[in-house]
Structure 1
Amino acid sequence: MSHIHKILQSLNFSPVETEIYLILAENEKLNVSAIIEKTQKSRTAVHTALNALLAKDFILYEKVGREAFYSLAHPHKLYGLLEEKKLDDARQYEDVSSAINSLVGSYQLTQNKPGVRFFEGIDGIMEVINDSLKAKGEILTYLDVEATQAYISKENKEYVQKRLELGIHKRMIAPDTDMTRERYRNYNPNIEVRLMPAHIKPFHTSVQIYNNSISFSTIQEEKMIGILIEDANIAQLHKSVFEFVWESLPPLTYDDAI
């Protein structure tokens, strides 16, 4: 959440307030001791930040017996800061709105609802793609190879290197194009590739399925949008569909690729 960290500080969150806010965004509720342990900040600094966040209604307070617990208020409350700052720059407004939408996804997860987060720009797209490096098993992928090579080739090379270092296996389905066949002619064996029939219209949104997550990345010159969904049932649906499609396609061999 590094880009969200910067956005919050641009909205006048202190560094400690920012850290605590993002921690609460990923946890249902925490007591002060747990927050101190996660932040490694002093009790005084934590209490000061909590009181500031409470005063702005960005977090909630609950007393259970003798213990106090803190949780995140709905991130839509941050829109009030946009009105206060009266952002004239449309791009800056979009960046803040995108960050709030991402926080809503994390918040929903703590409420046992599907978490949906939105990202924009190359940095946002790479945050979505790099999330798959958390995969505990293989990654299942539908890839728009041409868009990846045209717009994020350098960033993708770094991602692939990290994936190989982590030993994460990938199975990929891609449109049948000359570029795809050439690219995977002598590719690293830690990926298996199968191609959609050439008569099927190519898709332009890449998908990655892993753990209980699925991400969508649309990479075009006029827009770059990423969506990350965390939900076991939604992920399993797409895993099952992927397996059905995978089994219907022949393996891509080196001879085929040439």
Structure 2
Amino acid sequence: MIEQTFEQLGLTPRESLLYQTLLKLGPSSIRDIAEHSGINRGTAYESLKQLQSKGVVSYFPKGKRRFFTAENPEILLSLAEDRRHRLDKTIETLKTTIIPNLHQQQPEYHHTNVRYYEGDDGIEWVLRDILNVVSQQDHKEYCVFSSKPIRPYLYRPFPNYTKQRVKLGINVKVIALGEGGEEAELSQRKWIKTEGSVDASYIAIYPPKCAIISLVSKNFPSAVVLESKDIASAQQIIFDTLWKML
């Protein structure tokens, strides 16, 4: 776990080893550092210079030699905070400048982007995509057609989906095909009564996308996600019209 943490801070495995070696040794010469770390002097020296540039290691002259010393481990928290600050700035730049500019480079014609997903991992991806897309919109709401047979498989890979949806302040309107379905916070539900059983199906409308989930076999779900403003708009009109009639 510590190696993964150091890697996220921008330190290589070798740099991590050298830093921890220095913490144990205290101020040390390059010869002692190389001996205790098992890294040859030339490689150790180059890595120590990298650590110094990152503020993790410092040195002082002692006679004709340099002695290196590890900074207090609290410096690692400063590194993490600095990386988080730079990442926040990158995210903001992506939102306000880069992504809008990239969208402008796309051709003007409309096309439908179709993606297929299978199994629990695929269904979880679709559910997370719904939350991600809707949470970024001003009007945080999406609409669903859902039948009872699909429900046991829908949230199996993402059991806390509803809690996440509510936490993000996302509303949902559900038209249930057949009986069943539980009331939930930030949720409105209406029913279409059917005679006999209905097939397992789930259609989520979250413009500019629509997701269709069904069962390929008895216990294996699959999904198709259509990204098209025109298709999503048409599906939204159908849903809204039917919603008012129920």
**TM-score, length-scaled by structure 1:** 0.48
Q: Kindly name which structure, 1 or 2, has the bigger radius of gyration based on alpha carbons.
A: 2
**TM-score, length-scaled by structure 2:** 0.50
